[in-house]
């Protein structure tokens, strides 16, 4: 049975949120975790990333939980059939966001929507 | 030839073919072009060869509207003019600066960039600049360390600057002017009124006044006001004996459209990875010959309906305070700089020790402050008018009402939003826009800053209803009065005005040489 878009998103969100990996391949556990490790950590450090995440949640109250954020991120993926989040695919998603103008200004920072949500996930995980 | 006008008898009359009022970058550039021509040139300078407090005080004025730098500190009133504390930054205006842009009210020059190209080239040696080359790739070929950030060239390009030593016109060209047989320089010759004929169709002479109460007149076939944008407007408005609204002001345009460049710290760039200092964007006073700034492609300016501007990069750290141009160089620092230079430049420049602005960056800088330099939209309410107060020579002081528009702020913010997207897309890093840019577009911070670039009070337009001077810089309705300098700019352009005003002065000198010969 073919999955419609809503069913697929629900599935992929729950899969990612639960830390499950469809392929069952051990190496992909790290790829799933990559979603919680924004690239911005290296640039801005954990305190600033956490602060950006909190501000994003305050700006977008509808995305104030990890499942909501993961669902939102998954909706933005250009290749939704990839369930696992490799670091490279996150980098691609972020670049696509910038290229397509899917950006958001948080505390003055011009962020890709994907990475802003990653910041929010990071903030929730460390709260 | 040179005469100190204070030695003239009361009522003396000076005769010549061309009378240039003001010996700054514009006036001296013109006079240099006319040396050995058949014309007898009178060059009138209000000050002497050195700074005198009494002369500087003549430039004091009122400031209303946006806060501004003290007018007597922003300009210098002696032979050489404000080049006496000029920083030497030179760049050409872009083709789009001359265009009529539907989204920029009152934009459009009656000349094009190509019209100025030959004069830009001739201006280079006058300002002690290198070859006429403002192409970034050309400079990169000369010095491989001059590498631009890897931005999409369809979106952003590298606008090149060259740096004058800087040329102090007073010191460099004093001998050439004084020794010229057909140029007669009069110092301490403050023009207080431009006198029109009874029909107010031509200028009949200029009235000069000295502190001891003596008055003289200069009479010529043609006259050029080259005293700077504020003083030119002040002089025209105060010349109201025959024309009650002032000379050239039948359409109430003189003094309006005063423009500055907005020079403000606007954002921070954090590189994805620390990298060696970006030489392409670095500047060291007296050392750097050329550098680049990040500029937005005209196509995107059109698409987003914004003004022209650039971003320069200064290494720093997140969260540290960054000073505007006006804050960095206070009147006291400017005066100290002048003294330091005249004293042979012993030790570091005063502003370095005072602010730490040139402190060595960390070995691998990661954070850069992004400093805006942007034109402001021409605004008829931004204006110079006359104050009720008079100076020591009995002339009404200038009153500056500097005003800004919503598009000015929106343009800066949009620039950094677009740059933020592009540095993210290119994997270069991220940008944080400063808080003052994120509020509404009508509110300006108390630290709003220009660059002492005074432009536009006698703007150029073919239509007398829309401009004070015609494309030859002649005042509409007056047969023999011309304006030199940045006062004629219809728009401010993205670059500092000096190179363009010297180019325009050379163009005007050529025109007058032909016309008067």
Q: How confident is the model at residue A21 (pLDDT cuts 50, 70, 90)?
A: very low
B432 lies within 8 A of chain A by CB: yes
Would the pLDDT of A22 be above 70?
no
Cβ contact (<8 Å) for A103 and B420? Answer: yes
Residue to mutate among A98, A99, A113, A115, with most B CBs inside 10 A, is A98
B154 lies within 8 A of chain A by CB: no
In chain B the first and final C-alpha atoms are separated, in Å, by 21
The span from the CA of B460 to the CA of B472, in Å, is 9
Complex ipTM value: 0.90
| Residue B157 β-bridge partners | B295
The span from the CA of B428 to the CA of B446, in Å, is 32
B425 lies within 8 A of chain A by CB: yes
> Measuring CA to CA, how many Å separate B393 from each of B21, B203, B476?
17, 22, 28
Residue to mutate among B271, B275, B421, with most A CBs inside 10 A, is B421
pLDDT the model gives residue B77: 96
- The phi, psi pair for B445, rounded to 5°, reads -75, 160
Q: How confident is the model at residue A27 (pLDDT cuts 50, 70, 90)?
A: very low
Q: How confident is the model at residue B401 (pLDDT cuts 50, 70, 90)?
A: very high
Q: Measure CB to CB from residue B432 to each of A97, A101, A109 and give the nearest one.
A: A109
pLDDT the model gives residue B338: 77
Q: Measure CB to CB from residue A98 to each of B424, B432, B438 and give the nearest one.
A: B424
pLDDT the model gives residue A76: 64
pLDDT the model gives residue B275: 87
pLDDT the model gives residue B359: 52
For residue A82, give every residue at least 6 positions away whose Cβ sits within 8 Å of its Cβ, in sequence order, or none: A89
Would the pLDDT of A37 be above 80?
yes
Mean predicted lDDT score pLDDT of chain B? 94
Would the pLDDT of B353 be above 50?
no
The sign of the CA dihedral B113, B455, B375, B361 is: positive
Residue in B closest to A42 by C-alpha: B272
Q: Measure CB to CB from residue A103 to each of B271, B421, B438 and give the nearest one.
A: B421
pLDDT the model gives residue B400: 98
The answer, as to whether pTM is greater than 0.80, is yes
pLDDT the model gives residue A84: 60
Is the bond leading into B166 cis (omega within 30 degrees of zero)? yes
Residue in B closest to A109 by C-alpha: B432
Kindly list the residues of chain A whose beta carbon comes within 8 Å of any beta carbon in chain B: 39-40, 42-44, 91, 94-95, 97-99, 101, 103, 105, 107-112
């Amino acid at each position: 049975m073919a999955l419609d878009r809503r069913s697929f998103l629900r599935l992929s969100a729950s899969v990612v949120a639960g830390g499950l990996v469809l392929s069952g391949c051990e190496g992909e556990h790290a790829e799933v975790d990559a979603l919680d490790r924004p690239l911005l950590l290296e640039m801005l450090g954990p305190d600033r990333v956490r602060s950006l995440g909190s501000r994003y949640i305050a700006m977008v109250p509808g995305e104030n939980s990890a499942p909501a954020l993961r669902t939102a991120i998954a909706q933005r993926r250009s290749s939704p059939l990839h369930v696992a989040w490799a670091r490279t695919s996150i980098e691609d998603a972020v670049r696509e966001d910038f290229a397509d103008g899917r950006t958001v200004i948080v505390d003055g920072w011009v962020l890709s929507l994907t990475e802003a949500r990653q910041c929010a996930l990071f903030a929730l995980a460390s709260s | 030839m040179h005469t100190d006008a204070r030695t003239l008898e009361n009522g003396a009359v000076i005769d010549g073919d061309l009378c240039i009022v003001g010996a700054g970058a514009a006036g001296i550039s013109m006079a240099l072009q006319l040396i050995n021509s058949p014309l007898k040139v009178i060059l009138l300078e209000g000050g002497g060869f050195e700074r005198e407090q009494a002369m500087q005080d003549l430039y004091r004025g009122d400031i209303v509207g946006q806060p501004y730098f003290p007018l007597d500190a922003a300009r210098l009133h002696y032979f050489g003019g404000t080049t006496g504390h000029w920083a030497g930054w030179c760049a050409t205006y872009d083709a789009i600066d001359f265009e009529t842009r539907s989204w920029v009210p009152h934009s459009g020059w009656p000349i094009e960039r190509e019209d100025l190209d030959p004069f830009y080239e001739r201006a280079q040696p006058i300002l002690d600049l290198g070859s006429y080359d403002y192409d970034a790739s050309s400079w990169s070929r000369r010095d491989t360390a001059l590498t631009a950030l890897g931005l999409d060239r369809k979106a952003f390009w590298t606008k090149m600057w060259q740096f004058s030593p800087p040329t102090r016109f007073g010191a460099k060209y004093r001998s050439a002017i004084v020794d010229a047989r057909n140029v007669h320089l009069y110092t301490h010759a403050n023009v207080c009124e431009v006198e029109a004929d009874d029909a107010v169709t031509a200028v009949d002479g200029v009235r000069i006044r000295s502190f001891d109460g003596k008055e003289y007149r200069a009479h010529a076939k043609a006259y050029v006001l080259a005293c700077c944008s504020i003083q030119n407007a002040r002089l025209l408005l105060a010349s109201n004996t025959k024309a009650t609204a002032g000379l050239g002001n039948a359409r109430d345009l003189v003094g309006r459209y005063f423009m500055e460049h907005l020079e403000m710290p606007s954002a921070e760039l954090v590189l994805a990875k620390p990298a060696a200092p970006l030489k392409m964007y670095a500047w060291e006073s007296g050392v750097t010959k050329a550098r680049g700034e990040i500029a937005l492609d005209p196509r995107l300016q059109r698409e987003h309906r914004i003004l022209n501007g650039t971003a320069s990069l200064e290494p720093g750290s997140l969260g540290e305070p960054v000073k505007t141009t006006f804050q960095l160089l206070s009147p006291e620092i400017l005066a100290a700089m002048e003294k330091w230079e005249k004293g042979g430049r012993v030790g570091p420049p005063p502003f370095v020790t005072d602010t730490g602005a040139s402190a060595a960056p960390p070995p691998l800088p990661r954070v850069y402050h992004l400093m805006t330099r942007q034109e402001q939209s021409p605004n008829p309410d931004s204006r110079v008018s006359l104050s009720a107060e008079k100076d020591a020579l009995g002339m009404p002081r200038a009153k500056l009402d500097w005003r800004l528009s919503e598009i000015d702020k929106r343009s800066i913010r949009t620039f950094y939003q677009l740059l933020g997207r592009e540095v993210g897309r290119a994997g270069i890093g991220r940008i944080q826009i400063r808080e003052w840019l994120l509020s509404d577009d009508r509110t300006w911070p108390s630290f709003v800053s220009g660059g002492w670039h005074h432009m536009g009070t006698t703007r150029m337009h073919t239509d007398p209803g829309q401009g004070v001077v015609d494309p030859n810089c002649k005042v509409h309705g007056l047969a023999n009065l011309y304006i030199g300098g940045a006062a004629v700019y219809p728009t401010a352009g993205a670059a500092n005005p000096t190179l363009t005003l010297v180019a325009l002065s050379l163009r005007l000198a050529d025109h007058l040489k032909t016309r008067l010969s």
